[in-house]
Amino acid sequence: MKPLPRAARFLIAVTVLVATPYVALGVRDALDGRVSPEFLGLLFLSAFVLSVRPIRVQTNTELSASDVAVIAGIVLMPAGAVACMAAAARLANDVLSGKRPLQIIRNAASVAVATGTAAAVYALFRNELVALVEPTAATIIAGVVAVLVLVFVDIVQIVLLQRALRNVNLDRVTRQWVDRTVRAQLLWSLAAVITVQVVLIEPWFLVPGIPLFFFGYLDIRARFAAERRARLLATLVDVGHSVGSSLDPVKVFREVFEQVRKALDVDAFYVAIAIPERGTLSFRYLYDGGEEMAPEESPMAGTLGGLAVESNKPILLRDAERDRVRLKLPPRSPWGRVIERSIMVAPLRLHGKPIGAISAQSSRANAYDEGDLELLSAIATEAAIAIERADLYDRTLALSRRLFDLHRIGLELATHKELPALVRALADSVQEMMQASAVAVYLDKIGEDAFKQIERVRPIRMAGIFYAIERCQFSSVHILRLE
């Protein structure tokens, strides 16, 4: 696992420090009996259930509908109790989903800060507005202000953390996903303010309200999924451009990785070519823990890359250790520093036959889904094309050089009129072109005089020394290369 940047560690420490008073207030409220245990349990359960299926809006960034339960808690409970229960629900959800301890602590503290601040602002505004307007109006206005504060604090924390982790730049792409996230949060949070007030007047409004909220949540989820798929397709287009930009495979793979990292949560990445005759995988490009690694070759057996090549099928492990046992896959064979929790492997195919594998890995569980696997499989096709293009280029270049050398040798041989000089020039040219250690030229007997002439010339050359020919049977050139 790559180490956290200093800025990220500092930000997490500040978040935990700011969250501590809210949690302490929540514990005090519970111990003093200021809030009914039933209400606390109901808020925890609602926030937990609504956060079970979050919506991924960005790498390492998820959005859930738990804000709806939080808004209800802000209106009905003290700030400390709401912050404590919201943080506890997020902590329970992260523990069940297998997140890392530091990530669990940071997420719980972040929820406590956003929720506690919004609840404190709600209480402050409502107390000030009660003397100016009717209680219902004061509750609605204070609720709207609390929603704005909740969304603002939440988004600021997300952007600062992503910036500290160096996952985003403050550019147009960042502004777009921030805008999408803010709109979604405001939509169901403001709807929650209205719903709470309506339910307080008449609880039976929950009957049409719950289905309305459910279908609205599905629509928001579908819209985010469509937008994310569009971004993945755009990534695939960029990968296609990268593949066509160079004939150097390593440079192409580096560009492919940069495009993949923009769309997916990637802590480790590799592109490997299968060498069946040796039973190995040649890793052409390796990235692990924030740096590129030197190419290497390792056995294919017992690896997910080898399994993808043998089966010619992609592999998706949402939780690596759990899914390995469930799918009866080989045990982990580590090749870097990252302890991967989510793994995708797709075979590189040329004309339908697997020639290698490409893999993206994350230290976060459930980082990938089927859509991500489809993207990696499509990228694998582009990478295979890059390999084929580079191989064809190398073969064409080698053939072109050979043809040029043959033409040059032919022109040089045409300048010699005497047979001994011709044979010696032929031997020298072949030795130079083939990088041979020895070259022998054998001629048919075409008469005793001609044979003696060849014998005197000594046309066999080895390591710079000429040896005499004793007998020749056929017209041929023999080449010896010492490795």
The residues, ordered by sequence, that sit 6+ positions from 295 with a Cβ below 8 Å of its Cβ are 282, 283, 284, 285, 286
pLDDT band at 228 (very low <50, low <70, confident <90, very high): low
Residue 231: the pLDDT is: 66
Rounded to whole angstroms, the Cα distance separating 128 from 109 reads 29
Q: Has residue 214 got a pLDDT over 50?
A: yes
| Structure tokens that stand for 199 in this block | 């339910």
Q: Considering only 85-94, 161-170, 177-186, which range has the smallest mean pLDDT?
A: 161-170
Q: Pick the range with the lowest mean pLDDT from 402-406, 419-423, 456-460.
A: 456-460
Q: Is there a shared CATH topology between the 6-201 domain and the 236-388 domain? A: no
User: Other CB atoms closer than 10 Å to residue 225's CB: what's the count?
Assistant: 14
Could you tell me the CA-to-CA distances from 187 to 5, 149, 178, 216, 225 in Å, in that order?
A: 34, 14, 14, 9, 17
Q: At which residue do the structure tokens 């804000």 appear?
A: 67
> CA-to-CA distance for 333 and 355, rounded, in angstroms?
21
Which of the pair, 230 or 73, is modelled with greater confidence? 73
Q: What angle do CA 363, 364, 366 make, to 5 degrees?
A: 135
Confidence of residue 18 (pLDDT cuts 50, 70, 90): very high
**Percent of the chain as helix, strand, coil, to the nearest 5:** 60, 15, 25
- One of 3.30.70.20, 3.40.50.10440, 1.10.10.10, 1.10.1760.20 is the CATH number of 6-201, namely 1.10.1760.20
pLDDT at 477 over 80: no
DSSP string, 15-74: HHHHHHHHHHHHHHHHHTTSS-HHHHHHHHHHHHHHTSSPEEEETTEEE-THHHHHHHHH
Over residues 94-103, the mean pLDDT reads: 80
Return d(Cα 249, Cα 356) in angstroms, integer: 14
What confidence score (pLDDT) does residue 206 get? 67
Question: For residue 178, which of 198, 146, 154 has the smallest C-alpha distance?
Answer: 154
Residue percentage of the chain with pLDDT more than 90:
6
Of the pLDDT bands very low, low, confident and very high (cuts 50, 70, 90), residue 121 is very high
Does the pLDDT value for residue 168 go beyond 60? yes
**Which of the following CATH numbers is that of domain 236-388: 3.50.30.50, 1.25.10.10, 3.30.1330.50, 3.30.450.40?**
3.30.450.40
**DSSP three-state, residue 192:** helix
Q: What tens digit of pLDDT does each residue of 145-167 get?
A: 998 999 899 888 888 887 887 76
Confirm if 287 and 361 have CB atoms less than 8 A apart. no
| pLDDT, average across residues 315-323 | 84
All structural domains of the chain with their residue ranges:
6-201, 236-388, 416-480
Number of Cβ within 10 Å of residue 27's Cβ equals: 13
C-alpha distances in angstroms, 369 versus 85, 222, 297, 365, 413? Answer: 30, 15, 29, 11, 66
Mean pLDDT of 157-186: 77
pLDDT band at 52 (very low <50, low <70, confident <90, very high): confident
The candidate with the shortest Cα–Cα distance to 265, out of 329, 340, 204, 182, is: 340
Residue 362: CB partners within 8 Å, gap ≥ 6?
A: 264, 265, 266, 267, 268, 340, 341, 342, 343, 368
Identify the bridge partners of residue 356 per DSSP, sorted by sequence position.
Answer: 273, 348
* DSSP state for residue 77 in the 8-state scheme: S
The whole-angstrom separation of Cα 415 and Cα 428 is 15
- Beta carbons within 8 Å of 225's beta carbon, 6+ residues apart: 55, 371
What is the full DSSP assignment across 114-141? HHHHHHHHHHHHHHHHTTTS-HHHHHHH
268 in helix, strand or coil? strand
Neighbours of 119 (CB within 10 A): 28
Indicate the average pLDDT of the chain. 77
What is the per-residue pLDDT for 53?
A: 73
Give buried/exposed letters for 432-465 (b at 16+ CB in 10 A, else e): ebeebebbbbbbeeeeeeebeebeebbbbbeeee
Distance of alpha carbon 71 from alpha carbon 142, whole angstroms: 11
pLDDT, residue 378, reads: 83
The model's confidence at residue 14, banded by pLDDT at 50, 70 and 90, is very high
Q: What percent of the chain has pLDDT over 70?
A: 80
